[in-house]
Structure 1
Amino acid sequence: MTGHNRHCFTYGSLMTEHIMFGVCGMQLSAKPARLTGFSRHPVKDEDYPGIVPSDADEVHGVLYLAVPADAIARLDAFEGEQYRRTPVTVECPDGQQLSADTYVFRPELAHLLLPGDWDEAAFEREGRARFERKFTRED
């Protein structure tokens, strides 16, 4: 594995910087970005979403810049078996297009995705506390 850093596009719980910090163990530079050709959906019985390819849709999220390989490995472990790390191109508000990795929900698990967009406001209001208790326990 080369030691070069990758950008990482996040669209759910990891848009919250302190959750991303908890997973990666480091502070990362971030900026808003948009991913076209995907749609975001709630995962059944979970507080986090998944994305799947969808030609006419787009997902707004947070792009973390220059994520080191060891942090990517931690993200891979955090995201687990439901997701596949996938290279994508995202667009920043200034029109700049950047290559990044993102975590796409595995097609064979698509039956776990609910219709409609993931409710980011509901996550902030109620899901985030549950999510943090479940996923960011101190070792």
Structure 2
Amino acid sequence: MISSCFTYGSLMCEDIMSAVCGTACTRHAPAVLADHRRHPVIGQHYPGMVCAAGSTVQGVLYLDLPTAAWPRLDAFEGEEYERGRVDVSLADGRTVAAWTYLFKPRYAARLAAGDWDFDRFLRHGKARFEAAYLGFGVLARDADRRG
């Protein structure tokens, strides 16, 4: 069973990932996903990732996520994304199977040209992103209680 998640956008921030998952996500490592590319989502501070031969995406691999984190991640990612299995490379040369969230092809028109810039997100978008999604944790807890 896969318990790792490759993140490439806002969830690369440990504090955001932990808030979304509802638990501390301290076991993580830098990772690279081949044959994919991340683009800015028009009008948003986060990216969408699609298959793209020859391109690579630098991200963060979170290890050993608890089962309870996955419904929360699925809800957070929403309608535009689908969870898919990928193989990512770690700095030590190992390849690890992981889940990631791919932007659904039917929403491709919402992706801007060019690469999404994580450093720019940290400088200019993270605070606005957190403000926009501040209530997610409360909503997810309520959904957990209903589900």
Report the TM-score when normalising by structure 1. Answer: 0.94
Residue 18, structure 1, aligned to residue 34, structure 2: no
1:5·1:67 contact (CA, 8 Å) conserved in 2? Answer: no
Q: 1:63 maps to which residue?
A: 61
Instruction: Write the distance in 2 (CA, Å) between the matches of 1:31 and 1:78.
Output: 22
Give the letter for the 2:101 counterpart.
Y
Give the 4+ runs in structure 1 shifted more than 6 A.
none
Provide Cα deviations, 1:70-100, integer angstroms capped at 9, x if missing partner: 1011000000001000000000000000000
What is the alpha-carbon distance in structure 2 between the residues aligned to residue 57 and residue 21 of structure 1? 28
- 1:15-55 deviation digits (Å, cap 9, x = unpaired): 00000011001112100000001001000000000100001
How many residues are matched?
A: 136
**Unpaired segments of 5 or more residues in structure 1?**
none
Alpha carbons 1:8, 1:65 under 8 Å: kept:
yes
What root-mean-square deviation, in Å, do the aligned CA atoms of Structure 1 and Structure 2 show? 1.1
Percent identity (aligned) = 48
2:3 to 6, 9, 14: 6
Q: Distance in 1 between matches of 2:39 and 2:15?
A: 22
Residue 121 of structure 1: aligned partner: 119
Q: Which stretches in structure 2 are left out of the alignment for 5+ residues?
A: 139-147
2:70 alignment partner in structure 1: 72
Partner residue of 1:81 out of 79, 82, 87: 79
The amino acid across from 1:93 in the alignment is A
User: Contact 2:2–2:98 (CA<8 Å) still a contact in 1?
Assistant: no
Match of 2:144 in 1: none
